[in-house]
Structure 1
Amino acid sequence: MSHVLTLNAGSSSLKFALFTAEAEPRALATGLVERIGTTPQLKLKSATGGVLAQARLELPGGRDHAGALKAALAQLRHHYPDARIDAVGHRVVHGGRNFAAPLVLDDAALMQLETLVPFAPLHQPHNIAGVKAALEAFPRATQVACFDTAFHRHHPFVNDTFALPRGYYEKGVRRYGFHGLSYDYIAGRLKQLAPTLHDGRCIVAHLGNGASMCGMVAGRSVASSMGFSALDGLPMGTRSGQIDPGVLLYLMDQEGMSPGAIAELLYTKSGLLGLSGLSADMRTLLGSDTPGAREAIDYFTFRIRREMGGLAAALEGLDAVIFTGGIGENAAPIREKVCAGMHWLGIEIDAAANAAGELVISTPLSRVHVMVIPTNEELVIARAASALAGSGAASGATA
């Protein structure tokens, strides 16, 4: 039987999943190798959630993404010995100006992706490392890139540009938006669950360690809270979110900070971690009674409300709000704090439904429907990889 492997390579992690290669792929297993480069650990679960493997690793080939993939494949071979990988789907953070759909990767395409590293220096290199590792492991399989920016490539000009000299826009300095695979899934799922809402004006809040919001009309992205980079918009676990560019000039001129030091500050020391002085994990903050934790939560929810108001203006109205992502799906107190300040927009939530994490958490009298829909980026990748492999790509190889 033909199968699809999906890979999502981060700076120190590798998410992977095994699917059947069908028009609607079926998940067989999901896994994660985390802490790559230090003390790598692997966890593999079946589609029903049962733990198949969990162990600290001594990675073959070194403590890198290639070694992580080898360890992941060893576990998949053990538990699914008959799996035949005909396609590998990759999450790639940045597709630049031109890539607005999944792409079959060859040497020329990979070279184009490498030119986009300056646009996502802390993400793109790890995505490419995952691609190269998969090419080595499965040289005959179809390799497919699925871009986080692709979902937003149809923005109107006013939501795509900055007020800089036009030449920079032509060079690619523009608003790209991210988390597109998640938004793609939510748009499709909403069409199944509530077609009328899908055809209207919706705001999707993808809230997790990385967080953003997207305004959609009829399932298409109109505006996003993230812009040129994955730093913009909402505060995140360790990322700052929106910041006055003058602050960056001050840090260079007055604090003598280098670009590298500023990047480290904005990407790894800010956000919920920086504000709270405690943790980047929302679960830890919600369980803490320290002033820093409370203030970090207050700022996080305030920025969500502020962004929601701006996106509603961009949409010229609002019919639905969808919460997704690790925080959006699981943190009822965050959803409550966000919605409690939005009565003026027509949002009224049911406290019991919200606490239970039900699909619909708005009251019958709420003018805006509020829902909680779990996301599934891996399924979006598997669909694309399966479809492109089935269009006549290469033969597969066993896992």
Structure 2
Amino acid sequence: MSGILTLNTGSSSLKFGLYRDAPEPDLLLHGQVDEIGDNALLILNTGEERTKQKVAAPKPAAALEHVMQALAPHLSGLPIHGVGHRIVHGGMDFTKPTLLTGDVMAALARFNPLAPLHQPHNLAGVEAARTAFPDAVQVGCFDTAFHRGHPWVNDTFALPRAFYDEGVRRYGFHGVSYEYITGVIKTTYPDLHKGRLVIAHLGNGASMCAITNGKSVGSTMGFSALDGLPMGTRCGQIDPGVVLYLLTQKGMAPLEVMEMLYSQSGLLGLSGITSDMRALLASDDPQAREAIDYYVFRARREIGALTAVLGGIDALIFCGGIGENAAPIRSRIVEGLEYLNIKIDPAQNLRNARDIGTGSTRVMVIPTDEERIIARAVHAAIS
């Protein structure tokens, strides 16, 4: 019997899973380190038991050390033959799960500036896993891969054509999550799988994707993980003239602007309080309310835009930490979408039920499972 380990490093959390290797990997335990920074919390789920422990994890690297320590007692008699990693940016060339050789790692490091909150930590996780499990296969699964094959008009910017040829284009992200959700739809609702879906992955990082016949045809995220929806600390869509103004008129250095757009904006910047949607919903501060108002407005606007890309909509599907758990946010997002035949049942919505819609357009809540997609890829590589 051999094991598979999955590592999924996000902008504020590190998720992990331990599986028994099989054609459909068997989950043995899973967990995550939440709120990486000052209030990090290690959560470990082993069968019916769930433990929580505060840990010192100011950076993802420290969080990974705690994960390795927590896993150690469970690895006796279970050699790890493969480790799977979520890699946010795969560029133009990495369109399927790939063995993470030295040359591949060097190529992926070139995308660090395009995903500075994720890519360096993703690659650091690979190096740490290689040290911990030197004989294991290391496999990367890319968030951008799901979106390759976009129609050209959804892939390009209106810049001189040479930049597109060099790789300045819309990549889209959260592809591992979208792959899982479309897989659930294909297995459970085959007729719906042929239809027009808008999937809303709402978490500390957030995006939406227009999908038809299981294929991505449009995404709110573009060249980097900054575009589209406002996020926990990222700005989302912004007029490039604002960036030029900050550089030329406010005298900000490029690195200062980058730090602000990635780490000081979004819900945190708008509220001046926190990036945590749970805390904002509980707050009676007017700026917390305004931050939520903007978040909801942009989400509703993007649903309309992606519906236009699809030429209609058959289902709206929520996933991600906010999408799966924040009933008030789902309720507010769908307000005013009756023209798309989108309505929800308040009681079902509060229960986070799978089907919460009452109109002819289905509205669903499907918990995503990026780690299972990664584990399947590792099994295929080992086989």
How high is the TM-score relative to the length of structure 1?
0.91
- 1:371 maps to 364
Q: Distance in 1 between matches of 2:33 and 2:366?
A: 26
Deviations 1:283-309 (A, max 9, x none): 111112221111111111111111011
Is contact 1:211-1:235 (8 Å) kept?
A: yes
**1:235 aligned counterpart, secondary structure:** coil
The change in CA–CA distance for 1:344 and 1:65 in structure 2 (over 3 A counts) is: closer
Deviation at 1:43, TM superposition (A): 3.1
**1:29 aligned counterpart, secondary structure:** strand
Provide the identity percentage: 57
Q: Distance in 2 between matches of 1:292 and 1:148?
A: 33
Q: Which moved more, 1:80-89 or 1:249-258?
A: 80-89
Deviation at 1:38, TM superposition (A): 6.4
Structure 1 residue 75 and structure 2 residue 50: aligned?
no
Equivalent residue for 1:383, pick from 376, 380, 383:
376
Instruction: For 1:2, give the aligned amino acid.
Output: S
Q: Distance in 1 between matches of 2:59 and 2:146?
A: 30
- 1:7 maps to 7
The change in CA–CA distance for 1:346 and 1:89 in structure 2 (over 3 A counts) is: same
Q: Distance in 2 between matches of 1:205 and 1:387?
A: 28
CA RMSD of aligned residues (A): 1.9
- 1:329 maps to 324
Q: How many residues align?
A: 383
Structure 1 residue 269 and structure 2 residue 264: aligned?
yes
The change in CA–CA distance for 1:325 and 1:39 in structure 2 (over 3 A counts) is: closer
Equivalent residue for 1:157, pick from 142, 152, 162:
152
Gaps of 5+ in 1: 391-399
Higher relative contact order (CA 8 A, sep 6+): 1
- 1:295 maps to 290
Deviations 1:33-71 (A, max 9, x none): 4576767653322144x22563535x9xxx876664444
Structure 1 residue 117 and structure 2 residue 116: aligned?
no
Q: Which moved more, 1:73-82 or 1:196-205?
A: 73-82
Equivalence map 1:64-213=2 (5 Å): 68-213=63-208
Gaps of 5+ in 2: none
Deviation at 1:15, TM superposition (A): 2.4
**2:317 aligned counterpart, secondary structure:** strand
Q: Distance in 1 between matches of 2:282 and 2:42?
A: 27
Deviation at 1:253, TM superposition (A): 1.1
Q: Which moved more, 1:74-83 or 1:202-211?
A: 74-83
Deviation at 1:180, TM superposition (A): 0.5
Q: Distance in 1 between matches of 2:183 and 2:170?
A: 24
- 1:22 maps to 22
Structure 1 residue 346 and structure 2 residue 341: aligned?
yes
**1:94 aligned counterpart, secondary structure:** coil
The change in CA–CA distance for 1:307 and 1:169 in structure 2 (over 3 A counts) is: same
- 2:32 maps to 32
**2:94 aligned counterpart, secondary structure:** coil
The change in CA–CA distance for 1:280 and 1:69 in structure 2 (over 3 A counts) is: closer
**2:168 aligned counterpart, secondary structure:** coil
Structure 1 residue 54 and structure 2 residue 53: aligned?
yes
